[in-house]
Amino acid sequence: MEFLALLEKAGFEKSELVGKTGFNSSPKTEGVLLRAVKPESSINVQKFTEKIIPIEKKEHVMERKTSPSIEAVIDKAYALGCEKAKIIDTSTVIVGKWVRWKCLYGCPFYNKDGYHPPFAPSVDETREVIREYTKAILLNGPKGKALTDIAVRLEGEAYQMGFYKAFALTALPSGSEGESDPGGT
C-alpha cells in the first residue's frame, strides 16, 4: 500500500494496515484503519512549540469556516439527477413492524440477500439509528438502481461537505414483478 510507504518516509515506524472499517465515504473510497508509531526522538519539541498559537489569538489568525447548509446538499441532489428533494424532520419518519412481516410472509426474496430480512436491520435497530438524526432528505427521482446510485453519491457528497453522519437509506421494490433488483428503489 503506497500510503504505508509514505508514513514510513515521514518517520513513522511499524506502520500497518489493521483492517477495513466498512465505512466508505463515497463510492470511490474505502475506509481503512492504519496503525503506526512515531518515535519520540524524531519529534523536535522546540520547533513544534514555536508554531503553537495561543487560544486567545487563534480566532484572529484563522478565518472562520462557515459550515455548509443542508440546503447545499439539496442543491447537490438536484445536480445529481433527483426530480424532487425535501428536508424532513426525522421525528416524522415512521418505522412500522408490518413491513418486515410483509417480507417474512410473502416476499420471494426473504432470506436471499442482505437487502431483505432476516439479514436486513431489524425494525428496532432502524428506529434507533433514525433517532440519532434530526433532519433527513427525502429523494424522489428515476426508478430502480438510478435513484439508489444518486442517493449513495449524495451521501458521499454530503460527507465531503462536512455532514459526517450522512447515510443513505434506500427502499427496495416489493418483488411483485418476480425480479430481484438489489439496489433498486
Range 119-123 contact pairs with CB under 8 angstroms and sequence separation of 24 or more: 123/95, 123/96, 123/97, 123/99
Cell representation of residue 164: 459526517
Residue that wins the pLDDT comparison between 83 and 38: 83
> Do 14 and 37 meet the contact criterion of CB atoms below 8 Å apart?
yes
Ramachandran sector of residue 21 (left: φ over 0; alpha: ψ -120 to 50; beta: rest): alpha
Helix (H) or strand (E) holding 100, with range, is: helix 97-104
In tens, the pLDDT along 41-83 reads: 544 444 433 434 344 433 444 444 456 789 999 999 999 999 9
Q: Name the least confident of 8-17, 102-111, 138-147.
A: 8-17
pTM above 0.85, yes or no: no
Confidence grade of residue 139 (pLDDT, cut at 50, 70, 90):
very high
Residue that wins the pLDDT comparison between 143 and 151: 151
No. of helices (H) and no. of strands (E), the chain: 7, 4
* pLDDT tops 90 at residue 36: no
Distance separating alpha carbons of residues 136 and 152, to the nearest angstrom: 14
Cα atoms found within 13 Å of the Cα of residue 35, Cβ hemisphere only = 7
Distance separating alpha carbons of residues 13 and 18, to the nearest angstrom: 14
